[in-house]
Amino acid sequence: MTDYAVGDIQGCYEPLQRVLEKVGFDPAQDCLWVVGDIINRGPESLQSLRFVRSLGSSARVVLGNHDLHLLALVFNNQQPKRKDTLEQILEAADAVDLIDWLRMQPLAYYDLDRDLFMSHAGLPHIWSVPQALAYATEVSAVIGSSDAHAYFEHMYGNQPERWSSALTGTDRWRVITNYLTRMRFIAADGTLELTAKEDGNTGPAGFQPWFSYPRPQDQTRVVFGHWAALKGETQSERFIGLDTGCVWGGAMTLMNLDTGERSSCDCGR
């Protein structure tokens, strides 16, 4: 049995299948970790979502910001944005089943044996792994509850910029979501900068890539996606960036979680 992790799929079903075929992925014995953003912007969001769901227990999935965006469209009856490619999902005969499955996926996952943490955007240095898992579970419980409408109504926004345990309600849910699904640059005190999308070498003054801060409290490896401009480069074996921009004409990247070997296929459009 081999565990692989794959970067942001974003509706790029055909490249996903090519890279899985390249390593001989077999869902009967292998497992696929999905770093979030299964859907949106690419041409085959419905096929991508159906495929990942079909893997059942052979997949480990966390939600990304695009996955949450789809849920927000459903729960708030909003119209898709101009660049969204979600209509096929919303109009599919199995849309209800797909949405119900998606909303049950967590925001973070942790493998104790490997000491390996996964979320879409990463792990802020101001949180320990147990804290991050607890906060992720807190938000997941809201998404799966009758409070989901309130959560998605107030999910969008860049405030509060910094975590505080005193936060409550929708402000608390929003900032937890932002750390786990939107984070790129962060200040030493935990303040988020959520507008910059450039690579880690050219960030805004006073902010650094979230993975650049020392964390003497643990040696946990972190698997994440979300940041295509990095092209998978973090300069650290501990922080594993797998979004290599397939939907933007880059590559779909897959990594063997035990050997560290990466496989990729070109997604030139």
Helix (H) / strand (E) element for 186: namely strand 185-186
pLDDT on residue 269? 56
Confidence at 218, pLDDT banded by 50, 70, 90: confident
CA distance to 16, 161, 258, 261, per residue, from 23 (Å): 11, 41, 14, 10
Confidence at 78, pLDDT banded by 50, 70, 90: confident
Report whether pLDDT(268) > 90.
Answer: no
Residues 135-145 have pLDDT tens digits of 999 999 999 99
Rounded to an integer, the average pLDDT of 16-40 is 98
Q: Are 46 and 38 in contact (CB under 8 A)?
A: no
What is the average pLDDT score of the chain? 96
Residues recorded for the chain: 269
Residues 37-68 have pLDDT tens digits of 999 999 999 999 999 999 999 999 999 999 99
pLDDT on residue 79? 76
* Class of the CATH-defined domain 3-266: alpha beta
Report whether pLDDT(8) > 70.
Answer: yes
What is the pTM for the complete model shown?
0.97
